[in-house]
Structure 1
């Protein structure tokens, strides 16, 4: 994948993030509309636009790096990139290992999608590995069937491997269309504390800079504008 440089200036950090020429923004690139790879082979989507603007406001030089979801936290900790901006919900369990900025996407619903509104939600339910949805299914009494990507979970329902898929409702919404094969099943489930930028616990100055940029985007309405752009007028905003 091509390196995506946003600005020409480099910024040096002193507390926990010394002399960083470039901040590497880690994402999955396979979770539309949050993040995906476009026809040019570049990271695109809601989080690309949010991340670009955060870097601009924080006066950071940034590049985008993609990584598979199931190893996205270990590779942050090992230094392969400096942030996770990949639709990652803020949870107490994750905060035992990494730190987060304040949320740039408010707490939103998770939902079940199936081929029938009467699907057995205590049967076999597909979810993406390492997500709060997978953890919820595992504790619900249903049989959890885990896959590496969202597309794989949807395919499992389509081919009969799973009775339903459980994921962020915003991510599943494009699959639920009038006259389409997929429908919502059961009630929405609120999970997590919203989506934030994941960081190593030692990178306190980077966290402060990103928090200030997120605050400014909330105050001027630009985050809400991007949420509406990618998730529609009915999406929850700040």
Structure 2
């Protein structure tokens, strides 16, 4: 009888653990400051390409998800320490980051980075270039002959060019494109586009292989059924790189 009761208790306990695991809310961490990938809208909510994409991926993976925001410069440490479960924040897949965290397959193709300035005669190889801390663009500038100045937020990199603190800013072309298009001639692209990174993917703790596989399958399903490309075009324009 004691054995039967113990066995029943163990089965019940295991079932509760499985139910709790299944019902666990997956926390999606983003910056909320890198439009059109992610930004905070007028209602104070996370919005943008990755909000729409993330909600769809959670639906396909049959996961209950919630959104949290985190500053870019600590976004990987706070993932590793457990403050959220996934990074979905315009993060390019790189070998250096892959040594610390794990990635899904990319959900945007490898795209171009660009330099933006107030005039097209800026010396981007020898001048002062602004970039956001911890980005692939900051790493690239550091390897050129230019002087790198780093800022915590992308908005600060733009302001540095406007106030003369930097000669140009380097960032994702998709991020800079609206500034050039809407600036009435204030901003211009300088030099050639620079291909960097392996596309943008979701970052996860290396131990969360099951969760990674669920999101990986969801991303692949959107590529396979043709729903990912229209979403990319919706947020990045007709000239955006697609699959």
Q: State whether TM-score is above 0.5.
A: yes
Q: Which has the larger radius of gyration?
A: 2
* Count of residue pairs the alignment pairs up: 225
CA contact (8 A) 2:72 2:152 kept: yes
Deviation at 1:177, TM superposition (A): 2.2
**After TM superposition, where is structure 1 displaced by more than 6 Å over at least 4 residues in a row?**
none
2:71 corresponds to 1:60? no
Aligned residue number for residue 71 of structure 1 = 74
Question: In structure 2, how many angstroms separate the alpha carbons of the residues matched to 1:120 and 1:203?
Answer: 45
Pick closer, same or farther for the CA change 1:53–1:19 going to 2, 3 Å: closer
Report 1:19-168 matches (<5 A).
21-121=24-124, 122-168=126-172
Pick closer, same or farther for the CA change 1:125–1:31 going to 2, 3 Å: same
Question: TM (normalized to structure 2)?
Answer: 0.90
* More helix per residue: 2
Question: In structure 2, how many angstroms separate the alpha carbons of the residues matched to 1:86 and 1:192?
Answer: 14
CA contact (8 A) 2:23 2:64 kept: no
Secondary structure class of the residue paired with 1:72: helix
Secondary structure class of the residue paired with 1:195: coil
Question: TM (normalized to structure 1)?
Answer: 0.92
2:179 corresponds to 1:175? yes
Aligned residue number for residue 13 of structure 2 = none
Aligned residue number for residue 236 of structure 2 = 231
**What residue ranges of structure 2 are gaps of 5+ in the alignment?**
1-16
Aligned residue number for residue 222 of structure 1 = 227
**What residue ranges of structure 1 are gaps of 5+ in the alignment?**
1-11
